């Protein structure tokens, strides 16, 4: 019976180490992704503000030097012409005049793409607003991955339930709230603001924009976990002091 308990404990410890190693590997990949995102944002920002290019982009990357934005054409725009499909009545009922299929009509909203010749045609402020989501996402992923990697590395040493890790979770919650909300706000409002300043503004729907507040909810969950984590650590310290 004693041998069985020892075997179970050893197997559980090995499984824990494997799980921590997998988590660390994933976080290193995430950290590398954040670095690449940061480099890409830096490269595009330098080109957008100065017109100077460095680090030729691989062909499979989208053309970052030809900015474009999806947009919706106003339903009352005088230049908007939708195909008018003719119907006809037959002994079998009303059908499409050209194909004989059941009748349909084509309506809006009509999506389009607004394209600029390049970032040099945008103002510096428009370029900054355009590229801000990429910067916020890259920095957020980089810092968040580093905080989680520190926690994973402490778990590998058997020191996961500590006050420094609780503080790292607090910082992570703050990062998710600030960076997440800032990213969503700029990514939602920024394109609309840029479109309103373009020559196509009078033809586009630019009256409203929406954003998600899900990062705030996720940040609250992580903050609650940090409070519980810290409370558990302090309780364990108090218990050790009593012993």
Convert the pLDDT of each residue in 93-126 to its tens digit.
899 888 888 888 888 788 888 888 777 788 888 8
Reported confidence tier of residue 52, pLDDT bands at 50, 70, 90: low
Give how far Cα 199 sits from Cα of 114, 121, 179, Å: 10, 12, 31
Q: What share of the chain is helix, strand, coil (3-state, %, to 5)?
A: 60, 10, 30
Q: Are 219 and 169 in contact (CB under 8 A)?
A: no
Residue 56: pLDDT above 80?
no
Q: Counting runs of H as helices and runs of E as strands, what totals does the chain give?
A: 4, 4
* Averaged pLDDT of the chain: 81
Residues in contact with 10: Cβ distance below 8 Å, sequence separation at least 6, in sequence order: none
Inform me whether the pLDDT recorded for 234 exceeds 70: yes
Rounded-to-integer distance, Cα 65 and Cα 119, Å: 6
The model's pTM is 0.74
Q: Is 63 helix (H, G, I), strand (E, B) or coil?
A: coil
Under 8 Å CB-to-CB from 66, ≥6 apart: which residues? 115, 116, 117, 118
pLDDT at 175 over 80: yes
* Beta-carbon count within 10 A of 8 CB: 10
pLDDT of residue 11: 52
Q: Token digits for 240?
A: 């050790």
Beta-carbon contacts of 162 under 8 Å, excluding residues fewer than 6 positions away, are 154, 233
Block residue for tokens 């009922």: 93
Exposed, middle or buried: residue 156 (CB in 10 Å: 0-12, 13-18, 19+)? middle
Tell me the sheet residues that pair with 87: 96
Angle at 104 between CA 100 and CA 107, to 5 degrees: 145
Higher pLDDT, 185 or 75: 185
């Amino acid at each position: 019976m004693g041998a069985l308990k020892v075997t179970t404990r050893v197997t559980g410890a090995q499984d824990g180490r494997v799980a921590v190693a997998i988590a660390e590997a994933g976080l290193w990949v995430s950290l590398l992704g954040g670095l690449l995102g940061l480099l890409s944002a830096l490269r595009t920002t330098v080109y957008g503000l100065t017109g100077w290019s460095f680090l030729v982009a691989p062909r499979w990357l989208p053309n970052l030097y030809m900015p474009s934005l999806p947009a919706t054409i106003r339903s009352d725009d005088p230049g908007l012409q939708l195909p008018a499909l003719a119907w006809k009545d037959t002994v079998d009922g009303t059908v499409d005049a050209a194909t004989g299929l059941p009748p349909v009509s084509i309506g809006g909203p009509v999506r389009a793409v607004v394209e600029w010749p390049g970032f040099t045609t945008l103002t510096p402020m428009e370029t900054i607003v355009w590229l801000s989501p990429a910067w916020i996402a890259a920095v957020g992923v980089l810092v968040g991955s580093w905080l989680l990697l520190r926690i994973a590395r402490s778990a590998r040493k058997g020191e996961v339930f500590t006050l420094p890790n609780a503080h790292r979770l607090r910082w992570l919650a703050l990062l998710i709230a600030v960076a997440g909300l800032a990213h969503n706000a700029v990514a939602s409002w920024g394109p609309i603001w840029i479109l309103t300043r373009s020559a196509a503004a009078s033809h586009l729907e630019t009256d409203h924009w929406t954003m998600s507040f899900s990062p705030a909810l996720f940040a609250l969950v992580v903050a609650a976990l940090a409070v519980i984590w810290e409370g558990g650590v302090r309780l364990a310290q108090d218990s050790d002091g009593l012993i």
